[in-house]
A = this chain, B = another copy of it.
Amino acid sequence: MADVAREAGVSVATAGRALGNYGRVRDDLREQVQAAAERLGYSPNAVARSMRSGGTRSIGFVGADISNPYFATAMRGICDVAREQGYEPILANSDDRLEVERAAVSVLLDKQVEGIVVAPTSVTDVAHLERAMELGVPIVLLDRHIGALAADSVVIDNEAAAYEAVAHLLGLGHRRVGLLACVDPAEGPELAARTGTGRLTVRGAARPSIDRIRGYLAAVDDHRATSSAELIQYTPLSDAAQAQRRAEALLTQPQPPTAVFATDNVTTQGLFMAARRRGLAIPADVSLVGFDDLDWTTLVDPPLTVVAQSPLDMGRAAAVRLFERIKGDDRPAERIVLPTELVVRSSTAEHSHGVREHSG
């Protein structure tokens, strides 16, 4: 910039004002400076600017895995909003591992990002997020709410969404509804018999998959349908092959469920593959409800009934709220709940009370 100032015959201060669009500069001088800058191919150094002003015009996004369609689409929403605001997002994958998330947040903080959207791995271990907020870097939680943290969150009503899905199956006359849930073994959800009724309840933190189990159990309970641990299978990781094996176990037990609800897109895929591999007709032999309205669910035969959410809108909403915070909004933290929709297609049908046989 010193060169530009010299070339234009003004001081660096004036050059700075002309190029940085601050302070007052006479019009002819401004043009002179801009011309000089053009000639010399000057472009501003954002690092120096950040150093001086404190603002980096960067935000961070920490998610489990950007190659997962949910996060990729959410990231798209975040990018769009960031760009409107003149900000750039820095991306970090946590692989759903707490220590990786911690390290990522720490690096982002060192890089002086002005805010962070994070899909948190843990719902209890939040010291790193608290530290960010103490440092004045706002945090917006995506996909998971953390009660213990005074941060905004953008979520869906997991329990209600699951309830609606399962109630749909029960409304079709199904009495034995299976559940294929994707839960981290570290979460350690425990099924426990509810005193008196013999029905089940679940213990564990407020996390999407566990809330979805809660919704399932509540629906089963309300409709006085069969409540049994044998109707529930967990699959530990985002691993479709593993999910498929669990689904097959579910479908091939002596008294198999006549309908199954899967709690996320990976288990949905595993469930669908398992049913097909076992030669079960959908929905004649089993009804299926999946989670997440991915393209492929309309491409398969039959098209799947699913619970739809909008990761694009969730990413957008998270970013919008983040920028409100960056601009100084200090209202109490809010839990922003976006809608879900049960999209009924052809994988669910009335329970036929006739005899059903398959190779299981």
In the bound complex, what is the Cα–Cα distance between A41 and B130 (angstroms)? 13
Contact with B along A300-318 (1 / 0, CB 8 A): 1100000000001000000
Are A111 and B299 within 8 A (Cβ)?
no
Please tell me if the beta carbons of A91 and B89 are within 8 angstroms of each other in the complex.
yes
A355 at the interface (CB under 8 A from B): no
CA distance A268 to B112 in the complex (A): 43
Task: Say yes or no: A75 contacts B67, CB within 8 Å.
Answer: yes
Contact of A76 among B65, B90, B109, B300 (CB under 8 A): B65
Is A338's beta carbon under 8 Å from chain B?
no
A291 at the interface (CB under 8 A from B): no
Q: How far is the CB of A42 from chain B (nearest CB, A)?
A: 11
Contact assessment for A47 and B111 in the assembled complex, using a CB-CB cutoff below 8 Å: yes
Nearest residue, chain B, Cβ from A298: B273
8 Å CB contact of A47 from B44, B56, B92, B108: B56
A109 adjacent to B43 (CB under 8 Å):
yes
Determine the distance from Cα of A103 to Cα of B214 in the docked complex, in whole angstroms. Answer: 48
A281 within 8 A of B: no
A69 contacts B66, CB within 8 Å? Answer: no
The answer to whether B312 touches A299 (Cβ under 8 A) is: no
Contact for A111 among B46, B69, B273, CB less than 8 A: B46
Contact call B79/A92, Cβ cutoff below 8 A: yes
Q: Does A242 contact B (CB under 8 A)?
A: no
* Option from B44, B48, B79, B299 in Cβ contact (under 8 Å) with A300: B299
- The 10 A-B residue pairs with the shortest CB-CB distance in the complex, in nearest-first order: A296-B296, A72-B72, A67-B76, A46-B110, A46-B111, A67-B73, A47-B50, A51-B51, A47-B112, A301-B301
Q: List 18 A-B contacts (CB under 8 A).
A: A44-B110, A46-B111, A46-B112, A47-B50, A47-B112, A66-B72, A67-B73, A69-B69, A72-B72, A79-B91, A88-B90, A88-B91, A90-B90, A91-B91, A269-B295, A269-B299, A299-B300, A300-B301
